[in-house]
Amino acid sequence: MKERLIALRRKRRTSDRNRGRDDLCYSIVDSPPGKLLLVADDDNLRVLNFQEGGDKVDPLPPWRQGNRLLDETERQLGEYFDGKRQEFQLPLQPIGTPFQLRAWKQLQQIPYGSTWTYGDQARRVGNPRASRAVGAANGRNPIAIIIPCHRVIGGNGRLVGFGGGLNSKRWLLEMEASVIGSRALVESV
């Protein structure tokens, strides 16, 4: 994740040469599953990263705190955590390979409170034998929760892999299931 943020910074700096500045903003948000780092430019959310766990990223020096899009993201996340929002209405621009972008687009098709297996996602991406590849793509998802990689579970129904940690993944799935009045489709690890 850190390499991807540095690449994002370089890309923004290159595209911003005429303006002479890097226009990324950040916010660190407390949430029930843990602290979250949000990164956006004026037009798109770029990153939602768990700050507790192995993928913690610190804001980079040219970034400034907050903007209207980050305020709106925080508002919608608050509604989501309160069980009042099931879909996000935010402009997103994740950076990834064409395959990763296809995998992440499919993640956004998983209904709230539901889960898919990596095999389900691979079939929807168009390659039924690409379970490991979609798992790797999900592991590089730069916009957790909003691009809901937490809704993908192992073929045996168990929780596997999540940048925010398995406890956060379990919490998110159980919260969504409780909002829609169903049992979480999660077995113990």
Question: Which residues carry out catalysis?
Answer: 149
Phi, psi torsion values for 148, nearest 5 degrees? -80, 70
Residue 55 CA from chain centroid, whole number? 12
Pairing of strands 116-117, 152-153: parallel
| Cβ–Cβ < 8 Å for 66, 17 | no
Q: How far apart are CA 160 and CA 26, in angstroms?
A: 29
CB 94 within 8 A of CB 142: yes
